[in-house]
Amino acid sequence: MWSGFLFSVPLRNDKTSTMSIKKLGIFLIAALATCSIQAQQVQLIPEPSSLQIGKGYFILPNQISIQIPSAFESIGNEMSARFKTVTGKNVILSNQKNATIRFEQIQDPTLGKEGYQLTVNEKGIQVKAQTYAGALYAWQSILQLCPPAIYSKQVQQKITWRLPFVQITDTPRFEWRGFMMDVSRHFFTVAEVKKMMDEMAMYKLNRLHFHLTDDQGWRIEIKALPKLTQVGAWRPNRIGKWHNITKPASEEPKTYGGFYTQEEIKDLVTYAKTKNIEIMPEIDVPGHSMAFLAAYPFLSTTPNYPYQVNAGDDFIDWSGLNGHITARIDNNLDPSKKEVYDYLDIIFGELATLFPFEYMHMGGDETAKNNWAKSDDIKALMQRENLKTQDEVQSYFVRRVEKIMQSKGKKLMGWDEILEGGLAPEAAVMSWRGVKGGAEAAKQKHPVVMSPSTHNYLDYYQGEATAEGAVYAGLRMKKTYSFEPVPDGVEEKYILGNQGNLWSEQLQNIRSLEYMAWPRLMAIAEVAWSPKKNKDWERFSKKVESHFAILDTLQIKYAKSIYDPIVTTTLNTKGELYAHMEGEVNGLDFYYTIDESMPDSYSHHFNGPILIPEDVTILRIMSYQNGKPVGKLLNIPIAALKQRAVKVL
């Protein structure tokens, strides 16, 4: 049988039977070794719902035939082009029943909207799916079963094109498997957005949360309000540390920016459909609206302020007042003004014609309300609507926006701050400040997407802070993978799924974005797709390492931060400083120096706490795996080591 081994052993007490048993033992060892090798070659991300690994391989013949129903035709064309390009073999689309690769569209409710069955055996490759999405994801799994060279751009002559025998039945745990791309802080071209969608589809991610507006730029054409892009899409160019930016003079040329025309948005939506991706647009209001107000300042509580699109200089006091952030420049829309809702009606009306997805995101986060509190118009609104707090003012605003979206046939989603002051009747919540807001919304029977900064913020540095540049916080992939989207006491049916968010304050280009996204986005994908019982960090981390070859082949930039040691320090009662190292993945050796020299495998090998003498200025570390250097050279200054020290009493 392809799925395992069956043996019948005669029990006879003679030399012949003894020899047979010995031979059988040798055969068993060889067979188990073969199975072990095959298991190592099945490195699917995300982990399938059900996976059986058989004994043997299917080798692609010199002429590959693909039988595929018309509903999946574009997938067949893509497969044909890929196999021709990389294997150099003849590939034909055929209706023959004994085709090398056979797709069948079936009616099987257990597969749902995105599930599939995939069998690889001596007869070839067979796929069964109900939908285009299921067929697409089967194709992605087929690609991952092939050697990594399958992703090449030219013929690979020396590759044996074989796939291990497998039997897979696969359906996603959650319908929402998302990635948020912030194109406001830094603009990314249509081609770059498509590239990210290609990469998302490889790992069965199906929601692109498109953060289109913020203080630093308005990125979508609204035909009835042309100043939003004429003014709001452009700012003076700045390169440097975020919030360490010199505030531009008002007359400084505004040369950095860009926006998507409505035709480009239609093109992106059409392309996304081929990848089974829904695009959810976000217009971030009432806060984060500096670019909006640069175009139409009269929509704020300070209409005479000389607004311009923010270039990265800091204008928010994050320590705040009485637990609330405060803004030195009012970057909020004014909820008391009728014109605000008139403009939002226009904006969401045009968006509704461009994005077919059922949800639109209104932001609603980090609204500094100190300027609202000083506004006579806001005070009059509060009296008129019986609003007691500024949180209730924001809730009033959210409810008005929800009605606008509903009038366009859409549902509202917002960050978890929209809970403050009372949740709008049918709003969905995206929980980013941990899971508390999401749990609260779910208990109120509202749909929730989990995207907590504690586990899913991909703009956080992912390895050694001194090597990557500290931002708001650090986030190791192991912690991202450990996330469970359904909090205790919450019904799973209200949790739509899991999403990774990548804010672009610290990014300048698509290569930087990819570096921060990968491989942590693989962890987001597996948490969202795979059954909870199938999660295993050691197995997953090994799979990720094997997928580095895929990313290399595709020339995708990614981080190898999983090889960075986790370096902590302690101070003993004598005030002596000790350094400790821990691996995020198994099988690493750390070699270090404290004498300014560059470390290699002949340097000190870490096997216990290191005393850092007073005169040392830098700790240098290199990670090794299987005798070879991996990762990056770490140069940790003594000041950084002292800063992270904890006292041991």
Top pLDDT among 151 and 98 is at: 151
Give the pLDDT confidence score for residue 23 in this predicted structure: 54
Mean pLDDT of the chain: 93
| 26-35, 295-304, 507-516: least confidently modelled range | 26-35
Is there a catalytic annotation at residue 221? no
Q: What percent of the chain has pLDDT over 70?
A: 93
> How far apart are the C-alpha atoms of 500 and 299, rounded to whole Å?
32
Give the pLDDT confidence score for residue 40 in this predicted structure: 65
Question: Is 535 within 8 Å of 498 (Cβ atoms)?
Answer: no
What does pTM read for this prediction? 0.93
Question: Is 197 within 8 Å of 518 (Cβ atoms)?
Answer: no
DSSP letter (8 states) at residue 607: -
Which of 108, 252, 365, 366 is flagged as catalytic? 366
Whether 39 shows a pLDDT value over 70: the answer reads no
Q: Which two tokens stand for residue 144?
A: 């991952």
Q: Average of pLDDT values for 579-594?
A: 97
Quick one: pLDDT band at residue 508, thresholds 50, 70, 90? Answer: confident
Beta bridge partners of 610: 579
What is 52-116 written as a DSSP string?
Answer: EEEEEEEEPPSEEEEE--GGGHHHHHHHHHHHHHHH--EEEE---TT-SEEEEE---GGGTTT-E
Is there a catalytic annotation at residue 446? no
Give the pLDDT confidence score for residue 247 in this predicted structure: 87
pLDDT digits (tens, 9 = 90+) for 46-84: 999 999 999 999 999 999 999 999 999 999 999 999 999
Q: What percent of the chain has pLDDT over 90?
A: 87
Whether 6 shows a pLDDT value over 80: the answer reads no
pLDDT digits (tens, 9 = 90+) for 240-279: 777 778 888 888 999 999 999 999 999 999 999 999 999 9
Which of 47, 214, 417, 589 is flagged as catalytic? 214
CA nearest to 212, candidates 268, 277, 273, 276: 268
Quick one: pLDDT band at residue 22, thresholds 50, 70, 90? Answer: low
What is the number of other CB atoms lying within 10 angstroms of the CB of residue 239?
A: 8
Q: Classify residue 555 as left (phi > 0), alpha (psi -120 to 50) or beta.
A: left
> How far apart are the C-alpha atoms of 336 and 333, rounded to whole Å?
9
Which of 186, 209, 288, 361 is flagged as catalytic? 288
Quick one: pLDDT band at residue 2, thresholds 50, 70, 90? Answer: very low
Task: Sheet containing 588-593: give its strands across.
Answer: 604-605, 588-593, 618-625, 628-637
| 7-11, 221-225, 375-379: least confidently modelled range | 7-11
Give the pLDDT confidence score for residue 514 in this predicted structure: 98
Is there a catalytic annotation at residue 278? no
